[in-house]
Amino acid sequence: MSSFGGVAWIDLVSGADAELVLSALDVGEGEVAELPGGRHRIVAGAIGMSGDVWYGELAEAVVRLAERTGWVSHAFIAFDHDEYGAEHIVLEVSDGNVRRAYHYYAHPRNWWRYFVQGEPSAVVSLPAVELTRPGKDPGVLVDGRVARATVSQLYGVPVSAVKRAATADASAHRSVGIIGAPCEHWRDALGLPWPGGDRVG
């Protein structure tokens, strides 16, 4: 069974018209959730091929939304690339400029090698909050002390929670193919409920 799909949790700036922002999202379908302090979050998803739109364009759609409207504060995007792996991205938006605050691609692997046939989404070309040097895990695209501190500040969670989530990415490949599972530790750390209920399946 194919499981190509993506979900984006898009946090809006204070005072943004959530329904108007939702109508401006040009990929996927979404809903509005209310956050403390009168702010709002859009939760949008896209599965496989929807009309002429491929699910992998969801991250680019979030970037376009941020750049065109100025209403996006930050976003977490999770992709399930089926047998090619999984991917999750944190985007930071400041003055209409979008940067990757964290980016990881969970390549399928066995105990001794990675299978890197899958490619990250097009937002891999976006600037990052810090330069990440290649390491043993080819899936680590943006990470480090600055990245983790940035994510902590964006979501109002302890840096220790972000560190645990980033560390858990080393095992994310084990749950590739289970919808929502490779990013579950990030959703727990950042307080992002799964659409329709926090269930993985």
Instruction: Kindly write down the DSSP assignment for every residue of 53-84, as one continuous string.
Output: EEGGGHHHHHHHHHHHHS-EEEEEEEEEEGGG
- Indicate if the pLDDT at residue 118 is higher than 70: yes
Weakest mean pLDDT among 20-29, 149-158, 178-187? 20-29
- The residue behind tokens 């949008």 is 44
pLDDT band at 199 (very low <50, low <70, confident <90, very high): very low
Tell me: pLDDT of 6 over 60. yes
pLDDT attached to residue 91: 98
Better-scored residue on pLDDT, 171 or 114:
171
pLDDT at 164: 97
Would you say residue 41 has pLDDT above 70? Answer: yes
Binning pLDDT at 50, 70 and 90, where does residue 200 land?
very low
Decide if pLDDT at 50 tops 90.
Answer: no
- C-alpha pair distances (Å), 79 with each of 68, 82, 115, 174, 200: 23, 9, 17, 15, 14
The per-residue pLDDT of the chain, averaged, comes to: 87
Q: Examine the pLDDT at 54 and tell me if it is beyond 80.
A: no
Residue 138 confidence (pLDDT) above 80:
yes
Question: Which of the pair, 14 or 179, is modelled with greater confidence?
Answer: 14
* 149 against 113, higher pLDDT: 149
Query: Does residue 1 have a pLDDT over 80?
Result: no
Helices 159-168, 145-155: inter-axial angle, 10-degree rounding: 120
With 0-12 / 13-18 / 19 or more C-beta atoms within 10 angstroms meaning exposed / middle / buried, residue 135 is exposed
The stretch 22-35 carries a mean pLDDT of: 82
Read off the pLDDT of each residue in 92-97 and give the average, rounded to a whole number. 93
Q: Which residue has the higher pLDDT, 32 or 198?
A: 32
Q: Tell me: pLDDT of 96 over 60.
A: yes
* Mean predicted confidence (pLDDT) in 133-137: 81
